[in-house]
Structure 1
Amino acid sequence: MTTKHVLELAVCTVTDKEAALAARGKAMQAVSRYPGFVSWRAVTACETADLLADLVEWQTLEAAREAGKRVMTDPDFAPYMAAIGSVQLMQHFLTERQI
């Protein structure tokens, strides 16, 4: 069964991986309480030491967009934002098929 939830994919490089990983844990806890939050899968690249990706699932695109605004002023998210050197990709997706 395919859900109509929205997947948000953020891929970024970090300036201090250890600090970013610690900060990401706090950010995940904060975002998990946002309206429309479903899940967050945090991954690190195998071949590129400073590359992280976050796959966050939202009930709706509107919930994802509202969360995007909210993280900009959320003090629990600020340390993670500070650890990000550059954003390679930040996009919302709908699942077409899944097996």
Structure 2
Amino acid sequence: MTSPNILELAVCTITDKDAALAARERAMQAVSRYPGFVSWRALTACETADMIADLVAWESLEAAQAAGKRVLTDPDFAPYMAAIGSVKLMQHFVTEQQI
């Protein structure tokens, strides 16, 4: 079974873990109100203390792309952006198959 949703995967390093996790909470609340938002899974790396990942599901690629533009000017997202040291991966995916 495939999913019609677009999955957005962002893998980042962070400069201050406590600040980043608090800022991510605020960012998640803001993004949850964006058109086309489905869900957000916030992940932290087990082996790398300064790495986190976000897996966000969107109704469509267009919704994901619009959200990507909107976060750049959303004051509720700014502290999270500031806590990110570098973006290792930022990509949109579709589910081909699932078991």
Counting only pairs closer than 5 Å after superposition, residues 1-99 of structure 1 correspond to structure 2 as 1-99=1-99
Name the SS of the counterpart of 2:28 in structure 1: helix
Q: RMSD across aligned C-alpha pairs, in angstroms?
A: 0.5
Q: Which runs of 5+ in 1 are unaligned?
A: none
> Tell me, what secondary structure is at the counterpart of 1:97?
coil
- Per-residue CA deviations over 1:38-58 (Å, capped at 9, x if unaligned) read 000000000000000000000
| Structure 1 position 71, deviation (Å) | 0.1
State the 1:3 CA deviation: 1.7
Please give the alpha-carbon distance, in whole angstroms, between the structure 1 residues aligned to 2:90 and 2:17.
19
Q: TM-score, normalised by structure 2?
A: 0.99
Instruction: Compute the displacement of 1:98 (Å).
Output: 0.7
- Compute the displacement of 1:14 (Å): 0.3
Residues in 2 aligned to 1:2 and 1:63: alpha-carbon distance in whole angstroms: 19
Percent identity of equivalent pairs: 80
Runs of 4+ aligned structure 1 residues displaced above 2 Å come to none
Query: How many residues are treated as equivalent by the alignment?
Result: 99
If the length of structure 1 is used for normalisation, what is the TM-score? 0.99
Residue type of the partner of 2:21? L
- Amino acid corresponding to residue 33 of structure 1 in structure 2: R
- Opposite residue 34 of structure 1, the aligned amino acid is Y
